[in-house]
Homo-oligomer: A and B are copies of this chain.
Amino acid sequence: MNRDPIDHFIEQMGFMTQEDGLPRIAGQVLGYLLVEGEPRTLAEITEALSISKASASTNCRQLADKGILTRVATRGSRADSYMAVTNPAEDMLAGMAARFRTRAGKIEEAAAGFPDSRAEARERVTVFANFFRTSADFLDEWTERAQRQMADTE
């Protein structure tokens, strides 16, 4: 029985990150911090989501690495806290763009190794790779634009 709308939201966030190949807990943490809107310590996160200290630690660090969470040093406490950045979705998209770009690189590289007897296949694969690269550019353009919009409406 999970009728609390906030729990439901956090749960959904978990599923979402899971779909994206991230740990479910990562999404739950983000959801929780998004709801709270203020820094929360690892202990609080552990408690609120009923997960292990280890998971909280690992996932927070990973999210912070991706730029989705920021680490906050709270005065007067040696516990460090995390909070969600203003617009986590932007950073998620930016991460996607980055992945697209390395992906394009890998594919292109692979294609370059095709023998001349497979020239047509090489061409097809290269086109495929290019699409990813251009998509990455487009995504960057879009996130940049979104950021400007945010700045404007501030």
Which A residues lie at the B interface, using CB under 8 A? Answer: 5-6, 8-9, 12-13, 16, 18-21, 34-37, 87-90, 93, 99, 103, 106-107, 110-111, 113-115, 118, 120-121, 124-125, 127-128, 131-132, 134-135, 138, 142, 146
In whole angstroms, how far apart are the Cα atoms of A152 and B121 in the complex? 22
Pick from B5, B111, B121, B135: contact of A142, CB below 8 A. Answer: B135
- CB pair A118–B21 under 8 Å, yes or no, is no
Give chain B residues whose Cβ lies under 8 Å from the Cβ of A103.
16
Q: Report the 6 A-B pairs with minimum CB-CB distance, sorted nearest first.
A: A5-B113, A89-B131, A9-B110, A35-B121, A138-B142, A21-B21
Copy number in the complex reads: 2
Contact partners of A18 in chain B: CB under 8 A: 21
With A12-B106, A134-B146 as known contacts, state yes or no: A128 contacts B19, CB within 8 Å. no
Could you tell me the distance between the alpha carbons of A64 and B13 in the complex, rounded to whole angstroms? 28
Contact check, B6 vs A99: say whether CB atoms are below 8 A apart: no
Q: Give 22 A-B contacts (CB < 8 Å), ordered by A residue.
A: A5-B110, A5-B114, A5-B115, A6-B118, A8-B110, A8-B113, A9-B107, A12-B107, A13-B107, A18-B21, A19-B99, A20-B21, A34-B121, A34-B124, A34-B128, A35-B118, A35-B121, A35-B125, A89-B128, A93-B135, A131-B146, A142-B142
The docked-state distance in angstroms from the alpha carbon of A35 to that of B113 is 13
- Contacting pair B128 A88 (CB below 8 A): yes
Tell me, in angstroms, the Cα distance from A93 to B134 when the chains sit together: 12
